Copies of this chain bind each other. A is one copy, B any other.
Amino acid sequence: MPTDASVPPRVRASDELRQAALEQFATVGFAASSLQQIADHAGYSKSSVLYHYASKEALLEAAIGPSIDRLESLLGDFVAGGRSAAAQAVFIERFVDFLLGNRLAVHTFVNQGQSLRGLPVIERANTAIRGLADSICADDASLAEQMRFGVALAGATYTLVAGATFLDDDEQQFADADVRDALISVLSELLLTADGRPTR
């Protein structure tokens, strides 16, 4: 902690490096990202990166770990709260907010979740996503129900996170608040089980 109370809002080097790494991992992929590129992007040398983070893996852990913590917490709350329609609605809202607030990290572990299998932080992410599927979907759900779930969550995730591929630049400019409302609407339609939707 700084001795001067009016410390300038200068960000710490480790934070700059972590942010630069996250952007690289999300846009060009973990394997294709070099420590040199990350260092250049943040304005440091390659060795400085390895001073703050012991390895490239450690940098990945620092970059996406907090987002996975948040996802696990989100899931824990939902499991504890039961599967009522009201609880599901709350969860949908929080899930969309999570996606909006963690785009780069989500993009990283969703798109590369299987190519990076074996790294501890990635295993944690995959386990959380698996648990998400199990808890929101009833045990005796039909294949159509499971597909509905898969399309909803995967579609929402992918639309938000890699939307640039599927939507034009115009759509990218919509305010987050509008995107949030539209996504919650579509997800509710697909996931809420309270109404008398036909099973098939």
Interface residues of A, Cβ cutoff 8 Å to B: 27-32, 110-115, 126, 129-130, 133-134, 142-144, 146-148, 150-159, 162-168, 171, 174, 178-179, 181-183, 185-187, 190, 200
Contacts and interface: CB of A to CB of B under 8 A. Distances in A.
Contact of A143 (B134, B146, B164, B179): B179
Given A29-B115, A167-B146, A178-B143, A154 B153 contact: no
* Copies per complex of this chain: 2
B115 A143 contact: no
B167 A185 contact: no
Main secondary structure of the interface of A (DSSP, over half): helix
A159 B168 contact: no
B151 A115 contact: no
Contact of A159 (B28, B31, B129, B154): B154
A186 B111 contact: no
